Amino acid sequence: MSGLIGKKIGMTSIFDENGKNLPCTVIEAGPCVVTQLKTVEVDGYNAVQLGFTDKNDKHTTKAEAGHFKKSKASAKQKLIEFKNFEQDLNLGDQLTVEHFTEGEFVDVSGTSKGKGFQGVVKRHGFAGVGQATHGQHNRLRAPGSIGAASYPARVFKGMKMAGRMGNDKITIQNLRVLKVVADKNLLVLKGCVPGHKNSFVIIRK
In this predicted structure, which of 77-81, 138-142, 147-151 has the lowest mean pLDDT?
Answer: 138-142
Segment (H or E) for 188: strand 186-190
How sure is the predictor about 128, in pLDDT bands with cuts at 50, 70 and 90? confident
Whether residues 8 and 35 share a domain: the answer is yes
Over residues 53-81, the pLDDT tens digits come to 998 988 999 998 998 888 888 899 999 99
| pLDDT band of 184, cuts 50, 70, 90 | very high
pLDDT above 90: residue 140: no
Residues 59 and 138 in one domain: no
Whether residues 180 and 95 fall in one domain: yes
Same domain, 109 and 179: yes
Secondary element (H or E) of residue 24: strand 21-29
Going by C-alpha positions, the residue among 107, 109, 108, 104 that lies closest to residue 180 is 104
Convert the pLDDT of each residue in 83-116 to its tens digit: 988 778 888 889 999 989 999 999 999 999 999 9
Q: Are residues 94 and 110 in the same domain?
A: yes
Q: Poorest-confidence range of 3-12, 143-152, 195-204?
A: 143-152
Q: In whole angstroms, what is the distance from residue 46 CA to residue 82 CA?
A: 9
Q: What is the per-residue pLDDT for 201?
A: 96
Mean pLDDT value across the chain: 91
Query: How many residues does the structure list for the chain?
Result: 205
Q: Are residues 27 and 44 in the same domain?
A: yes
| Continuous segment of H or E residues that includes residue 186 | strand 186-190
Note whether 31 and 53 are same-domain residues.
Answer: yes
Q: Are residues 122 and 198 in the same domain?
A: no
What is the structure's pLDDT at 109? 96
Quick: pLDDT tens for 165-176: 999 999 999 999
The parent domain of residue 154 ranges over 118-166
Alpha carbon distances (Å) from 161 to 49, 158, 169: 39, 9, 20
- Strand bridging mode 76-82 / 47-54: antiparallel
CATH of the domain at 62: 2.40.30.10
pTM: predicted TM-score of the whole model, two decimal places: 0.84
Residues 42 and 142 in one domain: no
Number of domains into which the chain is organized: 2
